[in-house]
Each structure stands twice: as C-alpha cells, then as structure tokens.
Amino acid sequence: MVIRGKILEQNNNSIKIQSHEGNIFVFPAGDIEKISQEKIWGNFVYKDHGFANFTELGPLIAGKTTIDGVTTAAFSFQTVNGYKFCQYAMAGIGIGADLYATQTVLPVFASFRGDLSKTGSVIPFYLLMADMASTSHKTLIMELRSKEHHVCGRVWDKNPF
C-alpha cells in the first residue's frame, strides 16, 4: 500500500501521516518499507472524475464602441458546476454575468470540456459551450439620421455584441 501525504511525526516507534484529503494515519515503524519524497506543485491534486467546478472572472477586451461612442469592453464572471467523467470529458451547467458599459448580459449555458493533458504546471483544455443570454435591456433602439430621412427601429437581440 502507498500512502501519499505529509509526515506529521516520526520516531523510532511510529510514523504519523496526513493525506491530501486531511485523513491522519499512524503506522508502526516496523511496518514501513520505504519513505520517499515527491515533487509537489503547490496544493494541486489532479482529479480524474467526480463533481467539478470551474469559475472564471476577468475583463472582456473590445475595440468597438457604440453609436454614442461608449466602449463595449466589459467585465465577465462565469461559474460551471458539473460532473467529470474522465480526463477528456466533463459536462456541466453554468451561469454568468457580463457587465458592459451600456447593459448587463446574464448567460445560462451548457458546458462540455476536457483536459488535453493531466501533468505539468499548465494544463491545456478544450471547451464547447451552448448558451442563452438575457440582457437587462430587452430592446436596443437604433437610430439612423441623415439630411434626407429619419429611420428608427427596434432590434430584438439576446447579445448585440
């Protein structure tokens, strides 16, 4: 049997080990065959399957501006809860908030992702999403004016950006 964790106490009679999950084991010193040290990257333990959560936040950078000259750059927050079946397949449901200067978009989405590797300090992944977004403003009023005519209309759009 192999136990991975942190050695809390070690003397001639016993060894006390705490696993990554927080369990504490005490073994008689005579039952220990070998003690070795592995390189650990922080407190990261790769999880092959089970409940999974991904939470992301940060800026959405855009160079476009609205008709009024307001930039469309935004701040985004998303969280996904789901189940990881194996390294390559995790399915979940997510919700988020994209805060633009002129409106707030609240996406609800399905997410399917997987890890392309499970070793190293950086783990590349793929991601597929299907979403429906609701904006705080259901209508966007567009006005086009020129010397000859005036046109005003309503555009129904879930996410105009």
* pLDDT in the model for residue 84: 95
Residue 99 three-state SS = strand
- The predicted model gives 105-121 an average pLDDT of 87
Residue 89 or residue 48, greater confidence: 89
Cβ contacts of residue 74 below 8 Å, gap of 6+? 59, 60, 62, 98, 99, 100, 101, 161
* pLDDT in the model for residue 25: 92
The string of pLDDT tens digits covering residues 9-61 is 999 899 999 987 788 999 998 888 888 887 765 556 778 889 999 999 998 77
The region that residue 58 occupies, defined by phi over 0 for left and psi between -120 and 50 for alpha, beta otherwise, is left
Highest mean pLDDT among 59-63, 136-140, 152-156: 59-63
* pLDDT in the model for residue 28: 92
Residue 27 three-state SS = strand
Separation between Cα atoms, residue 138 and residue 134, nearest integer Å: 8
Per-residue pLDDT band at 138 (split at 50, 70, 90): very low
